[in-house]
Amino acid sequence: MHPLPFLLSTFALSAAATKINSTYEYVVVGSGPGGGPLAANLARAGHSVLLLEAGDDQGSNPNISQILNFNKAGNDPTTRWDFFVKHSDDPEREKKFEHYVYRRANGEFYVGMSPPKGASALGIYYPRAGTLGGCAMHNAGVSVNAADTDWNYIAEITGDETWGTEEMRRHLLSIENAVYAVNDTTHGHSGYLTLTQARVSVGNGSDGGALVQIVADAVGQGEVEVEALLKRDMNAQDKGRDLRTGIFGQIRHADAEGRRVGPNSFIKATLVDGRKFPLTVSLNSLVTRVLFEKEANDTSPRAVGVEYLEGESLYSADPRSSKNATGVVKQVTASREVIISGGVFNSPQILKLSGIGPASELLKWNISVVVDLPGVGTRMSDNYETSIIGLAQRDLHNVSGTHAVMLKSAAAIAANRTRDLYLFCGSFSFEGYWPGFPTEFGKSEYECAIVHMNPHSQDGTVTLRSSDPRDMPEINFRFYEEGEDEDLKAILDGVKWARSVLAKAPAGIAPFRELHPCKSTEVNCTDAEQKEWIKLNTYSHHATSTCQIGGDDDRLAVLDSKFRVRGVKGLRVVDASAFPRVPGAFPVLPTFMLSEKAFRDILADA
């Protein structure tokens, strides 16, 4: 019998108790799905590791620890990092985003399109979590493997076969504890990442059952028991997996009691383990730059440590931050490597502050150039998301939970491509993020949220706003710069599909009064009008690719296939910023897998 090494701990780490040595073998910056498990794994392999995290530990705050509280978590000031981004270079288009955010004269937020006098524009809200465990502490936890084509693409552009889908599957097996597939030997059962399937209420005669049944009928699964469909494994080992459509059970990184499992729980299990692994965690530690040394007759500098500021809420995205809190400057040495895992916005910011990035941008801020690496903070990408939401004829009392439906757009069917739409439907309202989200429309609300995979556009940027490491960078996604027609058409396919299915709900539930993209009161909702609404109101929260892996011939590649920052030694980036494209419909499971791969690659070099 395998021991249970990953018991969930409910204690909160205290910042004050940490004693910091001046030197560690590895210094890891950021404790999200990229950095957190990597730090724990390196320590478990016997290496001394310092994990620096800008936030504190909210693992015993029930808003954060219970996965079904994710809306509370997203609004909780103890973990929130509030970023405000652009979706385009056109200021007029930006302000037509229905949940555009302004700062009122009295300091409070205003959300909407008719700002009061004296309010200043902030931008489109983009959520992140600055806390032990990163965004895995306030996400919805949906855990889907990327398509084989997404993994094989990395192998193709780098020539490194270890990115192939078979090898990546082995990494999934070593990290997961797939309790939803208990006797299935094609899954792992002794990893740190407990995966469960969401429960959906579909009792006989219930509205929930009826609403799943109409979807099953529409995808040709009407004869299969709804309960069986809701257990269908979207991460099955199955050669044809990425071509299959229909209903699937939604998998989450949480245990059967709904407690979040992920970097936070793995780090704590490592700290309390009787085997006394050499892991040190320093909370409230905002890393400001990487320190380099140039060896005498060597042209590439070596990362030898980091500088950080110790103090609470130092980063300006933290709603509790204040300009006058400057923190205490500290330095620490890494005898082997520095690993940056600050996430998609912060990893490129840290590299640039350290002198690694486009030379022209660094010189503008008087940052001395260590390596002119023009790709840092470029080619950012994200899934496009929208939703069709309406009100049923009556309260949907017994509908709880959401079910997933994967579909192919008409273009994907025509080209025999992999599924490209991920929908999740239920009685909830999710229209993106803003301070105070979501809007609750009452118990008759019903939505199908739509995630569009593999968007064409990869033109987002993260650039410095100043040389102050406490400032947030400028972030512009530049959605729909490329492939606009194809992507909007595919999303509209999903919207129309959901609308036609919902129209078939039993009388008493249907007809739905649609709130958007079409208002039911407007009979003139053309395809062109729907596309325009979708384009203006597309939201996202799966950003990747700002420090991407690429081939030796790729001028904009930031990392080689082993996560090494090009042009320096002893420095890697391990988080969602490393993906050359958004991996599938949801990035968190692929990021956990990438972290496991990085651990193996780093050990091989040690």
Ligand X SMILES: *[C@@H]1O[C@H](CO)[C@@H](O)[C@H](O)[C@H]1NC(C)=O
Ligand Y SMILES: Cc1cc2nc3c(=O)[nH]c(=O)nc-3n(C[C@H](O)[C@H](O)[C@H](O)COP(=O)(O)OP(=O)(O)OC[C@H]3O[C@@H](n4cnc5c(N)ncnc54)[C@H](O)[C@@H]3O)c2cc1C
Half-sphere exposure of 536 (CA within 13 A, CB side): 18
From 106, 114, 185, 324, residue interacting with ligand X (rule: CB under 6 A): 324
Residue 509: name the closest of 201, 200, 221, 212 by CA. Answer: 212
Q: Under DSSP, is residue 212 helix (H, G, I), strand (E, B) or coil?
A: helix
Q: Does 106 bind ligand X (CB under 6 A)?
A: no
The nearest distance, CB 559 to ligand X, in angstroms, is: 23
At 237, is the secondary structure helix, strand, or coil? coil
In the set 58, 78, 139, 265, which binds ligand Y (CB under 6 A)?
139
- Establish if 322 lies at the interface with ligand X (CB under 6 A): yes
Q: Shortest distance, CB of residue 136 to ligand Y, whole angstroms?
A: 5
Shortest Å distance, C-beta 550 to ligand X: 26
Taking the CB of residue 584, how many other CB atoms lie within 10 A of it? 26
Q: Please identify, using beta-carbon distances, which residue of 319 and 374 lies nearer to ligand X.
A: 319
Specify the 3-state DSSP secondary structure of 514: strand
By CB under 6 A, tell whether 75 contacts ligand Y. Answer: no
- Binding ligand X (rule: CB under 6 A), the pick from 31, 41, 61, 461 is 61
Q: Which one of residues 37, 188, 327, 343 is an interface residue with ligand Y (CB under 6 A)?
A: 343
21 annotated ligand-binding residue: no
| H or E segment and range at residue 590 | helix 588-605
**403 touches 421 (CB < 8 A):** no
How many other C-beta atoms are found inside a 10 Å radius of the C-beta of residue 467?
Answer: 15
H or E segment and range at residue 604: helix 588-605
Q: Which of 583, 420, 432, 413 is nearest to 487 (CA)?
A: 420
Does 249 sit near ligand Y (CB under 6 A)?
Answer: no
Binding partner selected for residue 37 from ligand X, ligand Y, none, CB under the kind-specific 5 to 8 Å limit: none
The verdict on whether omega for the bond into residue 438 sits within 30 degrees of 0, i.e. cis, is yes
Residue of 270, 280, 341, 457 that binds ligand Y (CB under 6 A): 341
208 lies in the site for ligand Y, by CB under 6 A: no
Distances (CA, A) of 275 to 45, 107, 190, 378: 11, 50, 18, 42
Is the sign of the CA dihedral 245, 250, 252, 254 positive or negative? negative
Across the beta sheet with 80-85, the strand order is 80-85, 120-129, 101-103, 109-111
Residue 590 CB, nearest distance to ligand Y (Å)? 8
Is residue 541 involved in binding ligand Y (CB under 6 A)? yes
Q: What is the rounded CA–CA span in Å between residue 252 and residue 192?
A: 13
Nearest distance in Å: CB 51, ligand X: 11
Say whether residue 33 binds ligand Y (CB under 6 A): yes
Q: Does 34 help bind ligand Y (rule: CB under 6 A)?
A: yes
Distance between start and end Cα atoms, the chain:
31
Residues in contact with ligand X, shown as a per-residue x/- string from 294 to 313 under the rule CB under 6 A: -xxxx---------------
The only residue of 106, 185, 366, 368 in contact with ligand X, by rule CB under 6 A: 366
Can you name the residues that pair with 193 across neighbouring β-strands? 176
CB of 448 to ligand Y, least distance (A): 16
| Pairing assessment for the beta strands 421-426 and 474-476 based on DSSP bridges | unpaired
CA distance 47 to 53: 19
From 575, 579, 581, 599, residue interacting with ligand Y (rule: CB under 6 A): 575
Residue 548 tokens read as 């991407």
Contact region with ligand X (CB under 6 A), list: 192-200, 213-221, 290-298, 331-339? 290-298
State residue 306 phi and psi, 5-degree precision: -140, 160
287 binds ligand Y (CB under 6 A): yes
Of 61, 265, 540, 591, the one binding ligand Y by CB under 6 A: 591
Which residues carry a binding-site annotation for FAD? 139-142, 287
Residues near ligand Y (CB under 6 A): 29-35, 52-55, 74, 127-128, 130-131, 134-136, 138-142, 285-287, 341-343, 346, 350, 541-542, 575-576, 586-588, 591
Residues near ligand X (CB under 6 A): 21, 24, 48, 61, 63, 72, 75-76, 78, 182-183, 203-207, 278, 280, 295-298, 322, 324, 365-366, 397-398, 416, 522, 524-525, 529
Which residues carry a binding-site annotation for substrate? 425
